[in-house]
Structure 1
Amino acid sequence: MAVFKSGVSVSSDAFSKNRQDMLSLIADLRDLEARGPALSAKRNETFAKRGQINPHDRVARLLDPGMPFLQLHALANYLSEDINPATSVPGASIICGIGFVNGVRAMIWADDSGIRAGSLVEASLDVILSLQEIAKRQNLPLIHLVESAGANLMGYKVEFFVNGGAMFRNLAQMSAAGVPTLAVLHGPSTAGGAYMPGMSDYVIGVKENGLAALAGAALLHAATGEQADERQLGGTEMHASQSGLVEYLADDDAHALSLARDVVGRFNWNTSQPPLPRQPFVPPVYDAEELAGVVPVDHRSPYDVREVLARVVDGSDFEDFKPRYGASLVCAQASIMGLGVGIIGNNGPIDPAGATKAAQFIQLCDQAGLPLVFLNNITGYMVGTEYEQAGMIKHGAKMIQAVTNARVPKIAMYIGASFGAGNYGMCGYAYDPDFLFSWPNAAIGVMGGEQAAKTMSTVARAGAMRKGADLDEGRLKAQEDAITAHFTSQESAFYGSGRCLDHGVIDPRDTRKVLGFALETVLEGRARQLYPNSFGVARM
């Protein structure tokens, strides 16, 4: 046993300030998360007139009661389409996450038709491709609750159309791999969207409301002059009896969701699944509630990342790997929910010794089959003559090589800063972690705004000196302020999550639950036996 003894005083002024600052950010997060459901709920009267259920309630009815649901990309599109923080609505008209349906862990994707009829914006495509990639990698059945007006033609861009084809490619790949996909047609799905049910293995259609057509009645008339009855053109009743697109015809939304649960239950999905290699475990000695006060919101304020580990890992028990060597980088062996992991965290910039320690630790975890957890609070790799001569570049490269090529599951969290090449060495989004979540205090970027501004001022002064010119200090100060503001506006966790540069922002107090759920998902997915075929299931 190596139970960590905390040095944090929960009655101190510093703890109280940290907690107050963090709770304020968590309140901001909850406000942003609530905007989409609130806007969607304004259409409840319209849904009721159609005999429909609100999209958020559809998801709730589909999921097993009382079981965990890990929502993904809840802040997508924030400050992207609408750049006003007061009015920007996150969500990108999509509700998605991983939950349980009739005992089966599955990826859920619901079109939020309460917002602009579920039409897709640029960020929607990012979300869809991300959730499909997760479903493919983790071998998760995909359930799509369909009701969307398709792409927002007013914001049409050719790259959206071209890249959008990957949505259908992914469905084909999942089917061929032996990972089932199911679509529930709650409402219309036209044009390219018609291939959502068309490419799915199973389709459930709701009478009177569900519709799928390559060209809706309006587009058909504009293109060919034909006047068509919408239900005869693409209604679920027609597809169930004539085209063969729909396998199961439901009376209403509630019946469709009940059918979906039944179909998923008949996948026989868990029959041959081996149990997870879980050991008996006890919760951390220290309360997860304390995570709101352990970590300062200002990433420039130091703290010991081991204090985070002590409130996340089983029994607050972890083995510190080479603690005296490369001391600013912490490597630890521990378990979360009885599942063994290797954890890498930061207590300052990474020096050559820390980089080599991390590279060795990652290789050892890879050798042992231990999933890796990265807790980012990193301003980068050390710079300066001493560190360059000590081989910072080549040692940093070793760490990045190890992160890139490790075969074990990788889960990353931004719990503070993640700047510069430190982001790469700590398994940032570009390094394809299985999951990556942010705390609301996280800051991401090539460098901090003040550092960028000072760098550009130094360059300007050097240039003026070479030319023998005078510098306008007032103008230089204005430039510094502008650069600082430009960098700082893009570094917040909410901004990055709005651009789908993580899988979501979480309450720090939920870290253990999220990591445990993510670990179960990746380990279950890797152990699953699939029955692939050559081309995927073709509808006959």
Structure 2
Amino acid sequence: MTALETGVDQSAPEFAGNRAAMLDKLAELDAEHAKAVAGGGEKYTARHRKRGKLLARERIELLVDADAPFLEFSPLAAWGTDYQVGGSVVTGIGVIEGVECVLVASDPTVRGGSSNPWTLKKNLRAMEIAMGNRLPLVNLVESGGADLPAQKEIFIPGGKMFRELTRLSAAGIPTIALVFGNSTAGGAYVPGMSDHVVMIKERSKVFLGGPPLVKMATGEESDDESLGGAEMHARVSGLADYYALDEQDAIRIGRRIVARLNWRKHGPAPSAPAPEPLYDAEDLLGIVPTDLKVPFDPREVLARVVDGSDFDEFKPGYGSSLVTGWARVHGYPVGVLANAQGVLFSTESQKATQFIQLANQTDTPLIFLHNTTGYMVGREYEQAGMIKHGAMMINAVSNSTVPHISLLIGASYGAGHYGMCGRAYDPRFLFAWPSAKSAVMGPQQLAGVLSIVARQAAEGAGREYRDEDDAAMRAAVEQQIEAESLPMFLSGRLFDDGVIDPRDTRTVLGICLSAIHNGPVAGSNDFGVFRM
């Protein structure tokens, strides 16, 4: 065993201060999550219940196996916009009859479940996760289609949702639609393009155009049932494969469909047993400093996440501001790249490049723990080849084919965000801690750069550049960048898959790794040209 040792002192004032600050952030996070859970609010929730219907999360709870976890994606979608927090849809991974599935549930308490731009983004991300990890997709449908005032942002990109349904099916990944209410206009193509469709007696309404539109378009008089009711689709059109008597029956049938998929994972199984870490996950609340300029040792995080706190470090004496090494999480082998002192130098870049190649050679998934201010700048480092060495690392990350999981625990700035497999580099999953921040650079640095540029421009034009104007500009820029680099802002724009409690890190990683292994896990030897 090569178990990590800990230097954390729970009695230290710094630890207590970090813990208190993290708990405050988690309380803010809980308040925002509560807005998503509340959906359209008491009025529309009460109206929905009066109709004898279950809420979106209640449907999910009945659908997944008893006591099985549900890993929700992007619960803060649309945060900071005019749309309801949560994006009017619930998405995530849940286990149904022992099979990990991606679930997408419309929230009919928010404008009848109609889709706004954030609903679309969440749907597409859920499909991306289903495709990338070979997970069956289950749609729990009750939607009036596009939110018409926002049609200009939905109509053209929205077609991709239906395309992805057909691509999932073509890839042999089952798609299932449980229709709980309206599925109209473009929304009718969700059941129309799914492999398995369940409709509910006197509840499901699936048509391209409802009675008013049909009347306007053709002059034909019709009613909901004859035009698109469950019985019509089960007996006449054939769109419904199963006819359920009520919502609970539809959920029962949905579970039986998954049970009959004969689903098998293509990736290797985890080793058993998977020993718990030697140290308490509760300590994770006090490890990250409130000031991200203060470095912290990522080994303290790993000691509370990986199996048995067992970690074989790779090149420990070389490129020391990046920790690399091998471990297991819930029995799954992983390679870890974790920022230690923030800055990535040439040595760290070369070390990362070799390590990523080794992980691909052994078909080992990679976990990236972000706390970086980016690649080092300055004459000495530029002359030593910082650009080409950073490019080597980014090349390796870009062309690596083993699954990647990214976790932002501290700063994630500049090209360092790219080199550590940020969102644009397609990690299978990306989560953040409440302590994380991400932007092109730190607020003070960015404001300082703008100040220098503005001062030089004024001097070049022969204009006076007043210090008080400069101070006001810098303060405004710093405030803006600080706000735009915070986890809730970034998560609201789906730049991650959710902000998680640090204490849940091991569980979240375990769920992700298990989901990943539904598909084959294979590395690559094709990395293009590395500049030497």
Q: TM-score range by the shorter chain?
A: over 0.9
Residues 204, 256 of structure 1: 8 Å contact kept: yes
Q: Which runs of 4+ in 1 moved over 6 A?
A: none
* Deviations 1:27-75 (CA, angstroms, capped at 9, x unpaired): 1111111112223462343233322212211111001011121111111
Q: Does 1:520 align with 2:514?
A: yes
Q: Counterparts of 1:387-398 in structure 2 under 5 Å?
A: 387-398=381-392
SS of the residue aligned with 2:448? helix
SS of the residue aligned with 1:92? coil
Residues 51, 252 of structure 1: 8 Å contact kept: no
Unaligned 5+ runs, structure 2: 523-532
Decide which of 317, 323, 326 is 2:316's aligned counterpart: 323
Distance 1:99 1:298 in 2: 36
Distance 1:501 1:439 in 2: 13
Q: Counterparts of 1:418-433 in structure 2 under 5 Å?
A: 418-433=412-427
Q: Does 1:340 align with 2:341?
A: no
Q: Does 1:123 align with 2:118?
A: yes
Q: Counterparts of 1:40-189 in structure 2 under 5 Å?
A: 40=40, 42=42, 43-82=44-83, 89-157=84-152, 159-189=153-183
Q: Counterparts of 1:360-509 in structure 2 under 5 Å?
A: 360-509=354-503
Distance 1:275 1:393 in 2: 38
Residues 52, 252 of structure 1: 8 Å contact kept: no
Distance 2:294 2:219 in 1: 68
| Higher deviation after alignment, 274-283 or 198-207 | 274-283
Letter in 2 for 1:150: G
Letter in 1 for 2:333: G
Distance 2:200 2:394 in 1: 50
SS of the residue aligned with 1:526? coil
Letter in 1 for 2:3: V
CA drift of 1:520 comes to 1.2
Q: TM-score, structure 1 length as denominator?
A: 0.94
Letter in 1 for 2:57: H
Distance 2:201 2:236 in 1: 14
**Change in CA separation of 1:298 and 1:58 when aligned onto 2, cut-off 3 Å:** same
Letter in 1 for 2:144: A
Residues 436, 503 of structure 1: 8 Å contact kept: yes
Distance 1:345 1:374 in 2: 6
Q: Aligned residue for 1:312?
A: 305
Letter in 1 for 2:155: F
Residues 381, 396 of structure 1: 8 Å contact kept: yes
Q: Aligned residue for 2:271?
A: 278
SS of the residue aligned with 1:196? helix
Q: Aligned residue for 1:290?
A: 283
SS of the residue aligned with 1:524? coil
Residues 268, 517 of structure 2: 8 Å contact kept: no
Q: TM-score, structure 2 length as denominator?
A: 0.95
Query: Please, what is the CA RMSD of the aligned residues?
Result: 1.5
Q: Aligned residue for 1:10?
A: 10
Distance 1:501 1:80 in 2: 15
Residues 437, 485 of structure 2: 8 Å contact kept: yes
Letter in 2 for 1:352: S
Distance 1:46 1:470 in 2: 63
Residues 206, 228 of structure 2: 8 Å contact kept: yes
Distance 1:12 1:458 in 2: 40
CA drift of 1:225 comes to 3.3
Letter in 1 for 2:448: K
Letter in 1 for 2:281: A
SS of the residue aligned with 1:506? coil
Q: Does 1:301 align with 2:302?
A: no
Distance 2:37 2:499 in 1: 17
* Deviations 1:326-364 (CA, angstroms, capped at 9, x unpaired): 111111111111211110011220000011001011111
Q: Counterparts of 1:184-203 in structure 2 under 5 Å?
A: 184-203=178-197
Unaligned 5+ runs, structure 1: 83-88, 529-540
Distance 1:220 1:302 in 2: 65
CA drift of 1:273 comes to 5.7
Distance 1:228 1:444 in 2: 54
The percent identity for this pair of structures is 47
* Deviations 1:371-398 (CA, angstroms, capped at 9, x unpaired): 1000001110000011101100000000
**Change in CA separation of 1:250 and 1:179 when aligned onto 2, cut-off 3 Å:** same
**Change in CA separation of 1:469 and 1:44 when aligned onto 2, cut-off 3 Å:** closer
CA drift of 1:3 comes to 1.4
Q: How many residues align?
A: 520
Letter in 1 for 2:89: I
CA drift of 1:459 comes to 1.1
Distance 1:498 1:384 in 2: 35
Letter in 2 for 1:424: Y
Letter in 2 for 1:14: E
SS of the residue aligned with 1:525? coil
Residues 411, 436 of structure 1: 8 Å contact kept: yes
Letter in 2 for 1:494: M
Distance 2:290 2:100 in 1: 34
CA drift of 1:216 comes to 1.1
Letter in 2 for 1:398: M
Letter in 2 for 1:134: I
SS of the residue aligned with 1:407? coil
